Structure 1
Amino acid sequence: MRHSCALIVLLLASGTCLAQTSVNLYGIVDVGLRAVDGLPGSTTAVASGVNQTSRWGIRGQEDLGGGLKAVFRLEGGMNADTGTQAKSDRLFDRQAWAGLDSPYGQLAVGRQANLISDALLPVDPIGKRDASFNPNINVAGLSNTAFGTHAFGRQYGPSGYADNFYRLDNTVKYTATVGPWQARAAYSAGEVAGDAGASSSHGVALAYQRPDWVISGASMQFRSRDGLALDAWSLGAAVRLGSWQLKANAARNDADTGPSKRVAQRVLSAGVSRAIGRDLLVTTAWYSVRREATGFVDDGFDRGFLFVEKTLAPRTTAYVEADYTVWRGDAATKDRHGTGFTLGLMQKF
């Protein structure tokens, strides 16, 4: 048994290609020393995933003939500073799906990211870095809607968590690419007995991609277990001018949180990055978040980022990150400003 397990691990690590079948192990280990002040409080600690979320996964495919392939992907987040799972209740919290890939598109079924997340990938000003702190991931993409004095306080769609609807269980997603167009449609079943709409989600996304620019957007509708609605959309663009790249995005979500109660949030973001030579990338961006909620003072925050990344080898990157936050309304308990600084190393495998 011990030798069998060792063989399986070896095959996953190196990649197996037998009869047009491949299975590969991959991942990212990102660790850094991070100091913060006013976010809230002041701490210095070892942090995981400040540049890219630390993760590991297994992906594979098998050729079925006629241009058809069976595909799958399993992916879980991890805390590289402690060696623990990102979600203690899920081994593969990020992705767990299987599907079919054909010349007409890909059909995937299982736990997957929502369509807002997909739409943000090419247009987020900092390239979806710093997932736990990036407003486009947290607020626009709905991965952490709780901040300050209040939150949505419930689950919308089959995410498995309150105030986090970034990834959804029971999802059927179809992706088709035709020339410069890429279209996606998704439905996530709530699986509530007697009510097909409860805890469900559905939406569409569309992107137009050219070599030097892209426009990408998505619209989604979520429902809670008791039928309350959450509607969300995102629209952004990116353009490359030589060694410069400019990105901007606008997003909004509006949720019914109870009888005659609602929460509305919007995120505006813009940024620029510049490649200096072949191994140095500088990225800076600003995010503006505003929130309105029944019975609460309007609040939000503005947050700026600076990333300087040095490629040491094809799979290894050293980076420096700095951020500055201005809290508004009741978004922070006492501090009105917050700062963070990270010195980190990212290794891909």
Structure 2
Amino acid sequence: MQRIATSLTTTLLLCAGAITSAQAQNVTLYGLVDTGIERLDNTSTGGSITRMPSIAGSAASRWGLRGSEDLGNGLKAVFTLESGFGLDTGETQQGGRAFGRQAFVGLSGQWGTLSLGRQYSMLFPGAANTDIFLAQIYGAGAFDTYLAGPRLDNSIAYLGKFSGVTAGVLYSLGKDAQNCAGESSNSSECRSWSAVLKYDAPTWGVGTWVDEQNGRDNRPAGGADLSDKSDRRLALNGYVLLGKTKLVANYMQRRNEAAVQAQRKSTLWSLGVSHPLSTAVMLEAQYYDFDYKDSTDGAQMLVLRGTYAFSKRTAAYTTLGFMRNDGKARFSPSVGASNTALAPLAGRNQTGLMVGLRHAF
């Protein structure tokens, strides 16, 4: 614990020094703190549990530095260093990485941005504007945890925006240095790639994204070789604005060759709506439906949220998530709780309720 504290203190001092010494650069310190109290009923261990989640509420807690330097002729150097932490204990998230949410440097111009480092998969810009609850406490991550934090180590990315068109591609030489480093002589081991193409008009938008990851040879004592197994997600999504009301739709197919036969192919689709009652009050809802192609297991989830903004930076919210499981499925509405002791027994339903507070700086 002493080593962790010292490392974090050193990191903060270095960052403070960087801000102080920045002259030609434009450097911004930013962050968000978000937590609350959650109650989950019908857990597999019996009864209900009241807790303070460490992962996310309406957003994940983080702090970071972003900056740019004008190199002339429309060219800029850019960087982002972003650290995630749990507000319940203050511990660093993303496996203890100092900057586990984002850590990259790049060049940017009218032609787009080319960047290198730990970055989001292209599914994030592809789905961020159409999935209301994408990476939140009750959202798509309840069915597929990767959707709640699609970040890749050792990645090279390009993202460009031209009028209403957004196009991007990412390739990772080693998707996860802690569990599947890659960067080996095996050209496919632990590699990952993703791409996005979307169009945004003033009152509507439509897009598609694809994300594919490869496994690794981590077989124990004669176990299966996963180095050539791929895990691909392909999605279509869109939204429309009707006055102040926003309607969204998402559809994703997944083919995971490393999963058991009955769970190799799955679909996840959702419909959502958001509507501001006033400048301070926002109401949001989304319905999710998840199914395995070759199994009777599946689930449906309804998420409802009301948010009250005290200011542009501070808001309180209440989120309700109800999960209905089919067959032997054990999904929980709470991200990261599915198929754990916090989830319900096979085929049982579960309701989650969280009341929280967030502040951005």
Q: TM-score, normalised by structure 1?
A: 0.84
- Select between 58-67 and 216-225 the one with higher mean Cα deviation: 216-225
Task: Report deviation, 1:186.
Answer: 1.1
How far apart are residue 16 of structure 1 and its match?
A: 7.6
Q: Distance in 2 between matches of 1:199 and 1:334?
A: 32
CA distance in 1 between counterparts of 2:259 and 2:250 reads 29
For residue 203 of structure 1, report the CA deviation from its aligned partner: 2.7
Give the Cα–Cα distance (whole angstroms) in 2 for the partners of residues 264 and 168 of structure 1.
23
2:66 pairs with 1:27: no
In structure 1, the partner of 2:291 is: 290
**Counterpart in the other structure of 2:349:** 337
Deviation at 1:280, TM superposition (A): 0.7
Residues 1-349 of structure 1 aligned to structure 2 (within 5 Å): 9=16, 12=19, 18-19=23-24, 21-40=25-44, 41=46, 42-48=48-54, 49-124=56-131, 126-128=132-134, 130=136, 132-135=137-140, 137=141, 139=143, 142-143=146-147, 166-190=150-174, 191-225=182-216, 226-257=227-258, 263-292=264-293, 297-332=295-330, 333-334=345-346, 336-349=348-361
- Cα distance change on mapping 1:117 and 1:244 into 2, 3 Å: same
Equivalent pairs, count: 317
- The runs of 5 or more residues in structure 2 that have no matched partner are 1-8, 175-181, 217-226, 331-344
Using the alignment, how far apart are the partners of 1:46 and 1:216 within structure 2? 36
Corresponding residue number in structure 1 for 2:336: none
Partner of residue 149, structure 1 = none
Residue identity in the other structure for 1:195: N
Take 2:263 and 2:277, find their aligned partners in 1: how far apart are those partners?
46
CA distance 1:298–1:34, shift in 2 (3 Å): same
Shift of 1:114: 1.2
Q: Secondary structure at the match of 2:100?
A: coil
Residue 97 of structure 1 contacts residue 111 of structure 1 at CA under 8 Å; is this kept in 2? yes
Separation of aligned partners in 2, 1:123 and 1:214:
9
Which segment is superposed worse, 94-103 or 333-342?
333-342
CA drift at 1:259: 9.6
Which AA in structure 1 matches 2:85? M
Whole-Å separation in 2 of the counterparts to 1:10 and 1:314 = 29
Identity %: 29
Contact 1:75 1:96 (8 Å CA) reproduced: yes
d(CA) in 2 for partners of 1:106, 1:247: 27
Measure how far apart 1:334 and its partner are. 4.3
Q: Name structure 1 gaps, 5 residues minimum.
A: 145-164
TM-score using structure 2 length: 0.81
Shift of the 91–203 alpha-carbon distance from structure 1 to 2, 3 Å rule, reads: same
Two-structure CA RMSD over aligned residues (Å): 2.5
Amino acid aligned to 2:239 = A
Superposed CA offset, 1:73-95 (max 9, x none): 11121110111112343122211
3-state SS, counterpart of residue 156 of structure 2? strand
Equivalent residue letter for 1:179? S
Letter in 1 for 2:40: V
Against the structure 1 CA distance between its residues 8 and 260, is the aligned structure 2 distance closer, same or farther, given a 3 Å change threshold?
closer
